[in-house]
């Protein structure tokens, strides 16, 4: 065990604030990621929150402002459970950095993602009690964590459209994989916005603000925005990220592995984002000249990734395994990773490609 | 005027059933497509429906079956209006046929799309009266049109997930651009499912069936499915289409046009599909080496395309203008049209590319 109850095989990018990704071997263990292996993306120190005195404030464009204790949340609303994949917008940034450096941003590999079963109350139920007014259009979340990287220094926060906030999959969660939410994942209460970039699932939630406009804090108005290749970060520059993009990866074998020639099992994940679902995953061992379809494994519901598997026949020698997922809007992953390069290194969802060496048994 | 009150400049692919697409010049006239220029995709003869005796049946997994006249629909439910883009899944098939022939399918160009303001009642309101049962998960629609191309011969139909059917943008529409729905567009009542392929917006609606499973008729279970390149159409083969894919096109200048060298205005549309919106449109005149951002024009709400414009500076000579749209999930259009080829020729959403010749004034 290392800090925050995490396994030793997490890849730590930063110790303070703690930022660490899951190894692909741990992701390959199954479609639900173990809590002690789940990635952590923090923008400030883990705040110390006393659950006994903690309150959730709901304010802004509402008929009735709320100020709720954890006890009230648990007693007044029905408990709900959602299995949802979270994915950091910076996942796979290392692939973009390999093309051109991105100074000041952590070189996240492919493990800034994971799937857990979250329990808590539906944000929709809390909003219904508060009663959004007619001009309400967005719902903002503010955490207790203060981020020195923000300019000016501020608490982490972000918003989602009211239409999304009212869907029953958006939770205020106090449990993760059946256990109380760990401090590093946002205890006592965090937001879980399935289908959106991880940054909208605000941890250590302290206030909800019903708004007419999107969040104007640093983490939505300045960063977590996709800039054109020649763009410069700044307030309002670029497009705000929100809905997660279609992505996939190979979880096994490892990139660079040596395997026995013959039939080789290839496993991975695919995640569609938003309201889309994973419709198909194709695998090629001849550089996209031909594709075979992988088998989609356990269906954990509309908000979770799909693990997949296939078997490819590899002759002795060097091979490249190329994967492309398709979502239910008939979109597939971009071919060209270089064309995805952007100044902050977000949303690398290029087709994954690994190299393996097959040796005769 | 030609048949069905349509302008003479429609490009007719088939006279019976009537299938015709809009000219790009007509689409360029503005973000709302004139009714007399709107594309028509029919699978059978336009049925003769008497609005006085017409009834809408709601059946299946409901607490209460309904049998409603148009008068009741108008009196019992609030009238709603949505501006929505429809796009045929076969739009731009001609681009795929140019790569490899697709026998038996009409060579739709880029005009099998359009945007109209639709008025009627929310499907959600009608469903609420019927009361879907616990195992309801899909809502099917059947038209009065009988299609000889189906096997077996049957009425046109399709379904959408119940979650979508309950969203307020899904209409049962009796008006189009402020006038009564024309017969060729589904009078007296049609479904309009914004964000989905056109085939789900069933015309000449006669019955709604609340179901546990997706529609099993020909037009969802056999066709309107995306097959892999080497796939064979058949019941359940391939992935069902549903959510519309991100797409865009250049509406002006025309492909192959001769223009005056110097600043040239380029205009087009971009349509995101599903819950996504158009976040950015880029234009390149140097084969994707560099891109400039187009200006997004009139915002007609979340279910309509965006028209866009930009000005490029063209020296005398031959030029290629390349466009890529981005949606709010940070997805962009595929680069390679050839890689999109599929046996039925659906969902060609490759980056549009036109050639123009600039001559010195």
Query: Considering CB atoms only, which of B229, B244, B291 is closest to A329?
Result: B244
Q: Per the CB < 8 Å rule, is B328 touching A246?
A: no
Contact with chain B for residue A336, Cβ under 8 A: yes
CB burial class (10 A; 0-12, 13-18, 19+) of residue B288?
middle
Q: State how far residue A244 is from chain B, nearest Cα, in angstroms.
A: 6
Q: Which residues pair with B321 in a beta bridge?
A: B354
Contacts of B229 in chain A (CB under 8 A): 291
Q: State how far residue A300 is from chain B, nearest Cα, in angstroms.
A: 17
Distance CA A51, CA A49 (A): 6
Given its phi and psi angles, is residue B262 left (phi above 0), alpha (psi -120 to 50 degrees) or beta?
left
Contacts 24+ apart (CB under 8 A), B261-264: B261/B314, B261/B315, B261/B316, B261/B317, B261/B358, B261/B359, B261/B360, B261/B361, B262/B313, B262/B314, B262/B358, B262/B361, B263/B311, B263/B312, B263/B313, B264/B311, B264/B312, B264/B313, B264/B314, B264/B356, B264/B358
Which residues in chain A show pLDDT less than 70? 1
Contacts of B334 in chain A (CB under 8 A): 332, 334-335
- Which of B361, B358, B354, B360 is closest to B110 using CA atoms? B354
Contact with chain B for residue A20, Cβ under 8 A: no
Contacts of B240 in chain A (CB under 8 A): 328
CB A311 within 8 A of CB A266: yes
Contact with chain B for residue A241, Cβ under 8 A: yes
CB A348 within 8 A of CB A95: yes
Q: What is the pLDDT of residue A1?
A: 54
Q: Per the CB < 8 Å rule, is B273 touching A346?
A: no
Q: What is the pLDDT of residue A196?
A: 98
List the structure tokens of A260: 């026995």
List the structure tokens of B140: 């099917």
Q: Per the CB < 8 Å rule, is B329 touching A245?
A: yes
Contact with chain B for residue A347, Cβ under 8 A: yes
| ipTM given for this complex | 0.93
C-alpha dist (Å) from residue B153 to A72, B11, B224, B235, B308: 59, 27, 16, 15, 42
Query: Considering CB atoms only, which of A275, A347, A349 is closest to B274?
Result: A275
Q: State how far residue B307 is from chain A, nearest Cα, in angstroms.
A: 18
Q: Which are the contacts of A201, defined by CB distance < 8 A and separation ≥ 6? A: A86, A190, A191, A192, A193
Q: What is the pLDDT of residue B123?
A: 98
Contacts of B230 in chain A (CB under 8 A): 290
CB A39 within 8 A of CB A69: no
Q: What is the pLDDT of residue B120?
A: 98
Q: Per the CB < 8 Å rule, is B274 touching A274?
A: yes
Degrees (nearest 5) of the Cα angle B7, B12, B17? 110
B208-219: buried (b, 16+ CB within 10 Å) or exposed (e) per residue?
Answer: bbbbeebbebbb
Q: Which residues pair with B183 in a beta bridge?
A: none
How is the beta sheet containing A247-252 ordered, strand by strand? A247-252, A262-271, A306-314, A295-296
Q: State how far residue B360 is from chain A, nearest Cα, in angstroms.
A: 31
Contact with chain A for residue B341, Cβ under 8 A: no
Contact with chain A for residue B338, Cβ under 8 A: no
CB burial class (10 A; 0-12, 13-18, 19+) of residue A341?
middle
Contact with chain B for residue A334, Cβ under 8 A: yes
Classified as helix, coil or strand, A294 is coil
Q: Per the CB < 8 Å rule, is B291 touching A228?
A: yes
Which of A137, A331, A348 to mutate to test binding with chain B, by most B CBs within 10 Å of its CB? A331
CB B274 within 8 A of CB A275: yes
B116: enclosing H helix or E strand = strand B113-122
Q: Which are the contacts of A257, defined by CB distance < 8 A and separation ≥ 6? A: A356, A357
List the structure tokens of B339: 């890689």
CB B165 within 8 A of CB B124: yes
Q: What is the pLDDT of residue B1?
A: 54
Q: State how far residue A258 is from chain B, nearest Cα, in angstroms.
A: 30
Contacts of B161 in chain A (CB under 8 A): none
Q: Locate all alpha helices (DSSP H) within chain B, ordered by sequence.
A: 24-27, 70-76, 93-97, 123-130, 162-165, 218-221
C-alpha dist (Å) from residue B79 to A223, B119, B171: 41, 7, 10
Contacts of B279 in chain A (CB under 8 A): 226, 239
Q: Per the CB < 8 Å rule, is A291 touching B229?
A: yes
CB A66 within 8 A of CB A126: yes
A210-228: buried (b, 16+ CB within 10 Å) or exposed (e) per residue?
Answer: bbeebbebbbbbbbbbbbb
Distance CA B268, CA A49 (A): 52
Which residues in chain B show pLDDT less than 50? none
Euclidean distance between the first and the last CA atom of chain A, given in angstroms as a whole number: 37
Q: State how far residue B71 is from chain A, nearest Cα, in angstroms.
A: 31
Contacts with A, B 135-194, CB within 8 Å: none
Q: What is the pLDDT of residue A310?
A: 98
Q: What is the pLDDT of residue A3?
A: 86
How many cross-chain Cβ pairs, A to B, lie less than 8 Å apart?
89
CB A188 within 8 A of CB A48: no
Contact with chain B for residue A332, Cβ under 8 A: yes
3-state class percentages of chain A: helix first, strand second, coil last, to nearest 5: 15, 40, 50
Q: Which residues pair with A11 in a beta bridge?
A: A21
Q: Which are the contacts of B134, defined by CB distance < 8 A and separation ≥ 6? A: none
Q: State how far residue A243 is from chain B, nearest Cα, in angstroms.
A: 5
**What is the tens place of the pLDDT at every residue in B312-339?**
999 999 999 999 999 999 999 999 999 9
Contact with chain B for residue A338, Cβ under 8 A: no
Contact with chain B for residue A69, Cβ under 8 A: no
C-alpha dist (Å) from residue A67 to A183, B299, B323: 22, 37, 50
A125: enclosing H helix or E strand = helix A123-130
Contacts of B198 in chain A (CB under 8 A): none
Q: State how far residue A42 is from chain B, nearest Cα, in angstroms.
A: 22
List the structure tokens of B120: 């009627």
Residue of B nearest to A169 (CA): B163
The string of DSSP codes covering B245-267 is: PPEEEEEESPTT-EEESEEEEEE
Q: State how far residue A110 is from chain B, nearest Cα, in angstroms.
A: 18
CB atoms within 10 A of CB B200: 28
Residue of A nearest to B197 (CA): A329
Query: Considering CB atoms only, which of B226, B228, B330 is closest to A330?
Result: B226
Contact with chain A for residue B332, Cβ under 8 A: yes
Contacts with B, A 25-54, CB within 8 Å: none
Query: Considering CB atoms only, which of A276, A293, A346 is closest to B243?
Result: A276
């Amino acid at each position: 065990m290392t800090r925050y109850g995490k396994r030793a095989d997490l890849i730590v990018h930063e110790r303070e604030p703690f930022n660490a990704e899951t190894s692909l071997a741990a992701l390959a263990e199954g479609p639900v990621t173990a809590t002690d292996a789940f990635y952590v993306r923090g923008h400030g120190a883990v705040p110390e929150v006393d659950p006994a005195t903690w309150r959730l404030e709901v304010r802004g464009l509402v008929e009735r402002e709320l100020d709720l204790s954890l006890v009230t949340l648990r007693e007044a609303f029905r408990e709900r459970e959602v299995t949802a994949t979270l994915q950091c917008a910076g996942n796979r940034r290392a692939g973009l950095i390999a093309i051109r450096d991105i100074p000041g941003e952590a070189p996240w590999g492919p493990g800034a993602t994971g799937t857990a079963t979250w329990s808590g109350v539906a944000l929709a139920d809390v909003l219904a009690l508060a009663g959004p007014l007619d001009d309400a259009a967005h719902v903002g979340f503010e955490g207790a964590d203060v981020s020195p990287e923000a300019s000016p220094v501020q608490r982490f926060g972000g918003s989602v459209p009211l239409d999304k906030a009212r869907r029953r999959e958006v939770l205020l969660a106090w449990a993760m994989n059946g256990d109380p939410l760990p401090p590093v994942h946002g205890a006592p209460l965090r937001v879980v916005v399935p289908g959106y970039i991880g940054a909208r699932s605000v941890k250590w939630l302290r206030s909800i603000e019903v708004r007419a406009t999107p969040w104007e804090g640093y983490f939505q108005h300045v960063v977590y925005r996709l800039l054109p290749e020649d763009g410069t970060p700044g307030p309002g520059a670029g497009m705000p990220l929100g809905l997660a993009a279609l992505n996939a990866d190979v979880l096994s074998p490892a990139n660079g592995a040596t395997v026995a020639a013959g039939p080789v099992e290839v496993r991975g994940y695919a995640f569609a984002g938003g309201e889309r679902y994973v419709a198909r995953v194709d695998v090629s061992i001849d550089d996209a000249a031909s594709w075979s379809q992988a088998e989609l494994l356990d269906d954990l519901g509309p908000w979770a990734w799909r693990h997949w598997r296939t078997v490819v026949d590899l002759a002795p020698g060097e091979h490249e395994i190329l994967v492309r997922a398709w979502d239910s809007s008939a979109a597939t992953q971009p071919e060209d990773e270089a064309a995805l390069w952007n100044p902050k290194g977000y949303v690398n969802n290029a087709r994954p490609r690994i190299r393996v060496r097959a040796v005769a048994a």
